[in-house]
Structure 1
């Protein structure tokens, strides 16, 4: 199992930038798989604490049912458009993919299911300092951090 702690240990600066994008907004988007295999997009909140990435699902919610049946997920930060004329200041966007591990109930607040992320990939997309190239950075447990730039 690959936790957020492992991502941070493998690429601390990268992990810090990814987490700052996730922490910048309360609401994120999660993709899960329906019983027929088609994708489902849902709003969600997540937490980075004690080296783990966790998120919850209210009782009888479809996303929780999806994750208990097929744990694969993709989590995406809030999408923010670059500002015309200030593209170099665009913070970018981040994605985390993996498998959701059901970890019991959330004790604070309404009864909900708690999931921990078993991370398979983390991606950070942003512009270079001159705002002339798209920079894609990604980390996997097997290959560590990689970077590619595109026009």
Structure 2
């Protein structure tokens, strides 16, 4: 596992592109693990601050109960459609996964009972169209294999 700061330090260009995809909109999608082991997807917001990826959840929400029971999560960036007239300008999408680690309440919005978390990152991926726009480029990082870049036609 790694902090976001470690990924930024070691793979600055990759981390900047991933962060730009997440910053492209407010609403992200988070996947948590339900009590029965099935996946649950929900909307969420997150921040990149102080070298960490952080997010909060409302008291009593099912996703809060999920991560307090099983901290494994995955988060998908906002989804943007490729422009029909110029698919090559599609900025792509990003995903990250890891473990949600509960931290003290955020001083910005102390809500009683809410959960505030940072993500200990285990994997990150970025997918976008290459130039020319006839192939996908997949950049990724994970704790075991490090940074990789692959192309798919």
TM-score (norm 2): 0.95
Match of 2:115 in 1: 113
Deviation of residue 107 (structure 1)?
A: 3.2
Inter-partner Cα distance in structure 2 for 1:129 and 1:5: 30
CA–CA distance in 2 between the matches of 1:130 and 1:62?
43
Instruction: Work out the CA distance in 1 between the residues paired with 2:132 and 2:93.
Output: 17
Structure 1: stretches of 5+ with no match in the other structure? none
List aligned pairs for 1:54-133, cutoff 5 A. Answer: 54-109=54-109, 110-111=111-112, 112-133=114-135
RMSD of aligned Cα (Å):
1.1
Question: Structure 1 CA distance, aligned partners of 2:84 and 2:131?
Answer: 15
Q: In the TM superposition, what is the alpha-carbon distance from 1:39 to its structure 2 partner?
A: 0.5
TM-fit CA distance, 1:81: 1.3
**Structure 2: where are the runs of 5+ without partners?**
none
Aligned residues, how many? 151
- Give the CA deviation at 1:104: 2.7
Residue 70 of structure 1, CA deviation: 0.3
- The offset of 1:83, in angstroms, is 1.2
